[in-house]
């Protein structure tokens, strides 16, 4: 199924006191002088929080930047949909927060499967992110004195989450997009919307460019640079139904993986506990309800599973507030993996669990609840037809975020020199589970502060000489032609749906050895069937949305197999990954002795090769992650 390769020796994190590692790394990193920066080109793929902020900041520094996104405008990257907020260790509340506490919470929240150096740096940079965004005019929520408001979020006992109503991601993204727009206007960024990266150009061992398809004309072309940055987001759409936008895909990172970049912890998927339950076979995606709802909403199920009364007709005595009962210290604010699993054990998908605001409305008044959550309530009502002010919401867990991604070192370098990977596309900072309000933080930390400070150390060796892109462009054209040539009798969507069912059942919230082996038998069969029966209409050299989807699903069919191999080999429960065979008293049982490492997989075309990066915890001692 897989073979073992050499462990990863160098992750480039400085040693010594953790508080000064980032400062020391910045000081030792070589610089590129301003005149030379003008002659260096960097490709940034993706324009979400990570890619948009990176492209803008690199251009501010003076590099020439080529920016690509598949949407019709950089402003539509899926970071725009993040609702709840962004963490920062500002301690504006005087509630005991600090860089250390944010660091500690994030390592613990990730179930001790993240790299301490990275997480500490993330916590350090969090405060600068808020300052930067405020300076850009991001309209964060304010108190009457004019200062910034904060709220608490799942997995945290301090109030460190900055927010802009339920649309924090949108506002942060617009900040980055506007910074990017300023650089486009100044001529320092060349923007390519409606353009999809389909392969990576590696020459003389270095990443030197990308092959892209213009989604309007279908033209395939090659763009070269001194370095390539992937900021292409996560791969949750492997599961078909997820909270990801429909266009979110794994093609860029998967193609880079096939060209030599290691893929780390692919099975680490986050299941979000508060989504709107699916309503039928036709469902095209799932909609998240912000985790912040759990600040004031109480989660319950009927005490008697057979109780089929409407929620309003079930009296207090007939309700089981199971999160408050099972985890009294955190209650409804337990981390996402714990809340998701508890929901699954307490109910079923048809009914979901109830998220009830009756107490909050009685305590705070409907106006306060409306001010906090009004737009979320409207969205819920629009989708379900129910009014959350009078009827408890129905929620259910759904695939949300992928903690796995391309392996990167402390400098965000993949294993291909010159290929940097940032934001959700890399694996680095969240471990086996992601706490709320931490993804926006990582995207912006990478894009505004980390990458711009470390990429110079690589580019100091440039120029790298002329590139012969070889036959990559022809390979991309061949692949497009092959997809069109099958001309079978099944739609792309039907394959995606079937793959999603396998993945949700066997590699979702709860996994078993037997289930994963079943998936590993069925996925190659499904992939073979895809390449003999898929039907893609139209032509390659034209606007062709079915063709776009077909290429993405073809890659999901390969990535899904690696996810299952990774899940099978990790015989422990940790974070969002719950292995049914590895439990203690019904709770997840981590096995630090055997699995305290990052699993980084090498592509071979056959069984993948496992390279381990051992995780060392000097500052936050691994302990049983108790939220009771």
Partner 1 sequence: MNLTMRIWRQNGATGRLVTYDVPDLSPDMSFLEALDVLNERLVLAGEEPVAFDHDCREGICGMCGLMIDGVAHGPERATTACQLHLRHFSDGDTVTVEPWRATPFPVIRDLVVDRSAFDRIVEAGGYVSVSTGSAPDAHALPVPKPDADAAFEAAACIGCGACVAACPNGSAMLFTAAKVTHLGLLPQGRPERGTRASDMLAAHDDLGFGGCTNTGECTAVCPKGIPLSTITRFNADVLRAARSFSQGDKRR
Shortest separation between residue 82's beta carbon and partner 1, angstroms:
9
Shortest separation between residue 117's beta carbon and partner 1, angstroms:
21
| Integer Cα distance of 142 and 164 in angstroms | 9
Which C-beta is closer to partner 1: that of 62 or that of 622? 62
| Integer Cα distance of 18 and 288 in angstroms | 36
Which C-beta is closer to partner 1: that of 12 or that of 535? 535
Element (H, E) at 224: strand 220-224
Which C-beta is closer to partner 1: that of 384 or that of 518? 384
Does the annotation count 24 as an active-site position? no
Which C-beta is closer to partner 1: that of 286 or that of 346? 286
Structure token digits, residue 235: 């791969």
Structure token digits, residue 213: 């398809």
Shortest separation between residue 276's beta carbon and partner 1, angstroms:
10
List CB contacts of 150: < 8 A, sequence separation 6 or more.
90, 92, 93, 159, 160, 161, 162, 163
Q: Do the strands 609-614 and 597-602 form a parallel or antiparallel pair, or are they unpaired?
A: antiparallel
List CB contacts of 374: < 8 A, sequence separation 6 or more.
165
List CB contacts of 461: < 8 A, sequence separation 6 or more.
none
List CB contacts of 182: < 8 A, sequence separation 6 or more.
56
List CB contacts of 385: < 8 A, sequence separation 6 or more.
none
Which C-beta is closer to partner 1: that of 82 or that of 567? 82
| Integer Cα distance of 451 and 184 in angstroms | 20
Which C-beta is closer to partner 1: that of 281 or that of 316? 281
Which C-beta is closer to partner 1: that of 335 or that of 500? 500
List CB contacts of 526: < 8 A, sequence separation 6 or more.
495, 498, 499, 502, 557
* Active-site annotation holder among 151, 294, 319, 336: 336
| Integer Cα distance of 270 and 154 in angstroms | 14
Shortest separation between residue 358's beta carbon and partner 1, angstroms:
25
Shortest separation between residue 80's beta carbon and partner 1, angstroms:
5
Shortest separation between residue 209's beta carbon and partner 1, angstroms:
24
Helix (H, G, I), strand (E, B) or coil at 123: helix
Element (H, E) at 210: strand 206-214
Whole-Å CA distances, 439 to 39, 195, 375, 432, 590: 33, 25, 21, 13, 23
Helix (H, G, I), strand (E, B) or coil at 588: strand
Shortest separation between residue 288's beta carbon and partner 1, angstroms:
8
Residues assigned a catalytic role: 336
């Amino acid at each position: 199924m897989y073979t073992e390769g050499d462990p990863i020796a160098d992750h480039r994190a400085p040693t010594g006191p953790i508080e000064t590692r980032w400062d020391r790394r910045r000081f030792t990193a070589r610089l590129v002088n301003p005149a030379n920066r003008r002659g260096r080109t960097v490709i940034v793929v993706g324009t979400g929080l990570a890619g948009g902020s990176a492209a803008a900041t690199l251009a501010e520094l003076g590099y020439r930047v080529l920016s690509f996104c598949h949407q019709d405008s950089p402003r539509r990257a899926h970071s725009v949909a993040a609702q709840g907020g962004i963490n920062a260790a500002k301690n504006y509340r005087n509630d005991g927060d600090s860089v250390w506490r944010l660091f500690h919470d994030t390592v613990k929240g990730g179930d001790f499967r993240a790299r301490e150096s990275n997480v500490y740096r993330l916590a350090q940079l969090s405060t600068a992110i808020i300052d930067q965004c405020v300076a850009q005019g991001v309209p964060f929520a304010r108190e009457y004195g004019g200062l910034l408001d904060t709220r608490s979020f799942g997995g945290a006992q301090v109030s460190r989450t900055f927010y802009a109503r339920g649309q924090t991601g949108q506002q942060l993204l617009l900040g980055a997009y506007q910074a990017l727009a300023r650089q486009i206007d100044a001529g320092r960024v060349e923007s390519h919307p409606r353009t999809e990266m389909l392969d990576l150009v590696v020459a003389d061992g270095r990443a030197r460019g990308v092959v892209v398809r213009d989604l309007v004309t279908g033209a395939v072309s090659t763009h070269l640079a001194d370095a390539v940055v992937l900021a292409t987001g996560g791969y949750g759409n492997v599961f078909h139904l997820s909270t990801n936008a429909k266009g979110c895909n794994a093609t860029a990172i998967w193609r880079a993986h096939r060209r030599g970049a290691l893929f780390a912890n692919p099975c680490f998927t986050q299941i979000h506990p508060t989504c709107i339950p699916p309503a039928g076979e036709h469902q095209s995606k799932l909609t998240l309800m912000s985790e912040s709802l759990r600040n004031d909403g109480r989660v319950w199920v009927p005490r008697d599973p057979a109780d089929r009364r409407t929620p309003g007709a079930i009296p207090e005595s007939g309700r089981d507030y199971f999160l408050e009962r099972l985890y009294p210290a955190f209650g409804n604010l337990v981390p996402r993996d714990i809340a998701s699993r508890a929901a699954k054990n307490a109910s079923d998908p048809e009914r979901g669990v109830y998220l009830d605001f009756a107490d909050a409305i009685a305590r705070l008044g409907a106006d306060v609840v409306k001010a906090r959550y009004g737009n979320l309530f409207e969205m819920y009502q629009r989708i379900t037809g129910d009014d959350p002010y009078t009827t408890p919401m129905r929620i259910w867990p759904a695939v949300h975020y992928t903690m796995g991604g391309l392996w990167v070192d402390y400098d965000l370098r993949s294993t291909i020199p010159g290929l940097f990977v940032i934001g959700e596309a890399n694996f680095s900072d969240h471990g086996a589970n992601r706490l709320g309000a931490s993804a926006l933080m990582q995207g912006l930390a990478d894009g505004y502060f980390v990458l711009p400070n470390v990429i110079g150390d690589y580019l100091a060796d440039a120029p790298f000489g002329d590139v012969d892109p070889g036959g990559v462009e022809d390979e991309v054209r061949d692949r497009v032609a092959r997809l069109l040539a099958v001309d079978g009798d099944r739609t792309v969507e039907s394959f995606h749906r079937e793959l999603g069912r396998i993945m949700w059942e066997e590699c979702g919230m709860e996994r078993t050895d037997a289930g994963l082996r079943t998936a590993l038998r069925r996925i190659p069969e499904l992939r073979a069937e895809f390449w003999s029966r898929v039907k893609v209409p139209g032509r390659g050299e034209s606007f062709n949305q079915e063709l776009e989807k077909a290429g993405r699903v073809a890659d999901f069919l390969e990535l899904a197999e690696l996810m299952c191999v990774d899940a099978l080999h990790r015989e422990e429960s940790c974070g969002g990954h719950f292995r049914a065979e590895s439990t203690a008293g019904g709770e997840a049982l981590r096995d630090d002795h055997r699995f305290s490492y990052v699993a980084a997989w090498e592509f071979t075309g056959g069984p993948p090769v496992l390279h381990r990066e051992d995780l060392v915890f000097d500052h936050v001692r691994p302990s049983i992650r108790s939220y009771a």
